Structure 1
Amino acid sequence: MKVVLAYSGGLDTSAILVYLKKKGFDVIAFCANIGQDEDFDSVKKRALELGASKVIIEDLREEFAKNYIFPMLRANPEYEGYLLGTSIARPIIAKRQVEIAISEKADAVAHGATGKGNDQIRFELTYMKFAPHLKIIAPWREWEFKSRKDLFDFLRKEGFVISYEEKLYSVDENLMHTSFEGGIIEDISKPYPDTIFKKTLPPEKAIDSGEEVEIEFEKGDPVSVNGERMTCAQIIQKLNEIGGRNGIGIRDVVETRANGMKSRGIYETPGVECILFARKSLEGICLDGNVRKIASFLSPIYSELVYKGLWFSPEREALQTFFDKISERINGKIRLRLYKGNFKILFRESPNSLYKKEAVSFETYGDMVKWSEGFIRTLGLRFLLSE
């Protein structure tokens, strides 16, 4: 039987590769480049040494940004304080994995997610959506190994040496964010170490001068940074750099997993944090208040669907239609000053702005002032009638 394995090059999926080989599978290793800091040549070499019959590495960064991150950001996503950086990464990996499995005429797909977390759900719902006929192999739910030390010993017994050290915490990185979980992070009575971050300086260590940045939006998506038009992936990367050196985007979150358990994660999302703050600020002048109210009701529902692996569900796609439609009005520019983890709006402008200074100003009067009495009495009619 042939299986396509979602392979990262780390200890867990390396052990899974050898485990599947021992069970008689022909293993194709698939590794997606979605912006993680990785030596992909080494990943390919390792997979071949471990016995993969084929290694496929694909650069999905632009597709990830354009077709997954940006559409999600139109919904102002947030799940219990978490911006969904890992949640949105799994569907693109799993979908491409399935496509490869079909083209390679594989019998199964496999992943390295544990039996307690959310990623197993995200991978497998995508597998089921696009290839329900494929067998799903989740080794962490079937083998006898209990720890990463067990995996290291297993590989050594099989004649392979994979670098191993007892990790203080686990790290998951992509273009959008880096997450830190497990190990010492699980002790909620203690603060996270400031040394963990890969994209962001802690605010107190950020540059003292601060920095200004201008972001332009078209139909709700950022299209340029400081006047320079870029691809979707380039925009996120550029804002990661700018936001990161100014201490933007660190969150310490205790969230409710799909299975109901509470889990702590430390997240750094500097670029997307800049995009969301800028977008919401521009949205405030572009969208009608009632539209924003409806969006605020629907955004948590949308976010939970993404969190629980339902990116390809009809309900998420239906909600996407709504958020895409209202985003058509979000056009314009906004300039921010970033300073040690904080934002200050310097200006915002839009051809679709609903903000009319002359109308709203306390310094001007006109017929609208006279209309107020009738509006108020109509609004309070139920009180007048209750006497």
Structure 2
Amino acid sequence: MKSSVKKVVLAYSGGLDTSAIVPWLKENYDCEVVAFVADVGQGEAELEGVEAKAIASGASSCHIVDLKERFAKEVIYPTLKTGAIYEGQYLLGTALARPLIAEAQVEVAKKVGADALAHGCTGKGNDQVRFESAFAALAPELTVIAPWREWSMRSRPELLAYLTERNIPCSASITKIYSRDANLWHISTEGGELEDPWNPPSAQVWTWTTDPEQAPDQAQNLMLSFANGELTAIDGTPYAPVAAIEHLNHVAGAHGVGRLDMVENRLVGMKSRGCYETPAGAVLMAALQGLESLVLDRSVLDYRIRLGHEFAQLMYDGRWFTPLRHAMLAAAESIAEPLTGDVVVKLYKGTVTVTQKRSPNSLYSSAFATFDEDEVYNQQHAEGFIRLYSLASRIRALHQQAGEQS
């Protein structure tokens, strides 16, 4: 198989792993390596000089594809409508970006006539499953190469030595503590002291958010306007999806909103600890849930909650390119149709709280819910409802009493 590979497209970041993968592929597969870089909003610092790094590592070319708009419109906003939260905490920052990155990588491979795809995911993580499941669905004819499952190198010093022997420049160092992944939606941090769950995260772990104890003493209110479950304006100013997420990350992050320190269950079976920062996500999820409480009836809301749980599992497990994803998003889209209105959230020292909400589709009626005298609800009607509602319990009790008396 190695001799049959002529051209491979590598998902390239410019970090230590992918810098080593470029020459390794050329040496072990005797093939041309094309670097592919996905811009999913990880920031200019991450992308600066990445093309030059790829060429210096031995890549024949480097394709940088801007995916931010597609990421927000095609993945983040639709997923928000499902209410997906993995294991009740994680807003799926890394998992959300992977399908789109894999899809764009396949598009580049077909464009340049490649016969193979490669990634830098380790054999321990979730991302190998996410990438390769996408490859299987989109380009099953292409060979997939996962160097971490093939080569003998197992540590940063070994990778650095490998690059040094080949005079390939790399900005990474042996002393790097953390492994980070950033995109428009979040930044994750793993490694270092976090590998011991008893160690609290140090200040160096958090990069997007202010320590809540050091956040402003004055709360800040934001009014978020939604149409059919999608954010349209902030404080009356229209915002496109990417700009809205960037703005909320900045504003909410300054108040320490969106931090999460979590031990999660990976798809491959082991537990891992990660610290996640998702300021915009925390605000948007809270606001949408506030709007749902006003607009959705109990049975629909109950179904949406179950849908959110199942969709989070689907996303985490890398099953984006499946018929089930289409069906679930269609259901979420239908549920979100009445989610139009305004929600005011208060940001204060790491918390986001919904304080006001209104919608033309609100099912809340003060005329019915008031504790004061009303003319629309006859409280005597509740007696018949309760009698029918508890009928099964009544019959069961009567049977038990009859049995005790016999």
TM-score w.r.t. length of structure 1: 0.98
Structure 2 distance, partners of 1:211, 1:114, is: 42
Residues 1:140 and 2:148 aligned together: yes
Residues 1:46 and 2:56 aligned together: no
Q: SS state of the match for residue 351, structure 1?
A: coil
Structure 2 distance, partners of 1:345, 1:104, is: 50
Structure 2 distance, partners of 1:215, 1:344, is: 13
Aligned pairs for 1:79-158 (under 5 A) are 79-80=86-87, 81-158=89-166
Structure 2 distance, partners of 1:126, 1:384, is: 54
Q: Which residue of 240, 243, 260 maps to 2:252? A: 243
Cα displacement (A) at 1:311? 1.1
Structure 2 distance, partners of 1:310, 1:290, is: 27
Structure 2 distance, partners of 1:252, 1:330, is: 31
Q: Which residue of 261, 265, 278 maps to 1:256? A: 265
Specify the alignment match of 2:200 in structure 1: 191
Structure 1 distance, partners of 2:317, 2:245, is: 24
Structure 1 distance, partners of 2:393, 2:39, is: 62
Q: SS state of the match for residue 222, structure 1?
A: strand
Structure 2 distance, partners of 1:246, 1:3, is: 44
Structure 1 distance, partners of 2:353, 2:155, is: 46
Residues 1:323 and 2:332 aligned together: yes
RMSD (Å) for aligned C-alpha atoms: 1.1
Q: Which residue of 315, 340, 344 maps to 1:335? A: 344
Q: SS state of the match for residue 253, structure 1?
A: strand
Q: SS state of the match for residue 281, structure 1?
A: helix
Structure 1 distance, partners of 2:352, 2:105, is: 39
What 5-or-longer segments of structure 1 have no aligned partner? none
Q: Which residue of 364, 368, 371 maps to 2:381? A: 371
Specify the alignment match of 1:380 in structure 2: 390
Structure 2 distance, partners of 1:285, 1:171, is: 38
Which amino acid is 1:61 matched to?
Answer: K
Which amino acid is 1:333 matched to?
Answer: D
Q: SS state of the match for residue 210, structure 2?
A: coil
Instruction: Please give the per-residue CA displacement for 1:98-154, whole angstroms capped at 9, x wherever unaligned.
Output: 011011110100000000000000110001100000000000000010111111100
Q: SS state of the match for residue 53, structure 2?
A: helix
Cα displacement (A) at 1:41? 4.2
Structure 1 distance, partners of 2:131, 2:394, is: 59
TM-score w.r.t. length of structure 2: 0.93
Specify the alignment match of 2:7 in structure 1: 2
Which amino acid is 2:63 matched to?
Answer: I
Instruction: Please give the per-residue CA displacement for 1:172-195, whole angstroms capped at 9, x wherever unaligned.
Output: 000100001123211101101122
Q: SS state of the match for residue 72, structure 2?
A: helix
The alignment of Structure 1 onto Structure 2 pairs a total of residues equal to 387
Specify the alignment match of 1:67 in structure 2: 74
Larger radius of gyration: 2
What 5-or-longer segments of structure 2 have no aligned partner? 1-5, 399-406
Which amino acid is 2:292 matched to?
Answer: E
Cα displacement (A) at 1:164? 2.4
- Contact preservation (8 Å) 1:5, 1:28: yes
Q: Which residue of 13, 25, 45 maps to 1:20? A: 25
Which amino acid is 1:92 matched to?
Answer: L
Q: Which residue of 265, 279, 286 maps to 1:270? A: 279
Structure 2 distance, partners of 1:51, 1:385, is: 79
Q: SS state of the match for residue 345, structure 2?
A: strand
Specify the alignment match of 2:401 in structure 1: none
- Contact preservation (8 Å) 1:358, 1:364: no
| Worse-matched range after superposition: 327-336 or 343-352 | 343-352
Instruction: Please give the per-residue CA displacement for 1:176-222, whole angstroms capped at 9, x wherever unaligned.
Output: 00001123211101101122222111211111212111111111111
Structure 2 distance, partners of 1:383, 1:315, is: 39
Specify the alignment match of 1:312 in structure 2: 321
Structure 2 distance, partners of 1:168, 1:206, is: 26
Cα displacement (A) at 1:364? 2.5
Cα displacement (A) at 1:167? 1.9
- Contact preservation (8 Å) 2:225, 2:343: yes
Which amino acid is 2:296 matched to?
Answer: L
Q: SS state of the match for residue 82, structure 1?
A: coil
Which amino acid is 2:50 matched to?
Answer: V
Structure 2 distance, partners of 1:344, 1:113, is: 37
Which amino acid is 1:379 matched to?
Answer: Y
The percent identity for this pair of structures is 42
- Contact preservation (8 Å) 2:118, 2:145: yes
Which amino acid is 2:366 matched to?
Answer: K
- Contact preservation (8 Å) 1:95, 1:126: yes
Residues 1:211 and 2:220 aligned together: yes
Q: SS state of the match for residue 136, structure 1?
A: strand
- Contact preservation (8 Å) 1:212, 1:335: yes
| Worse-matched range after superposition: 343-352 or 86-95 | 343-352
Which amino acid is 1:347 matched to?
Answer: Q
- Contact preservation (8 Å) 1:62, 1:231: no
Q: SS state of the match for residue 117, structure 2?
A: strand
Structure 2 distance, partners of 1:46, 1:301, is: 40
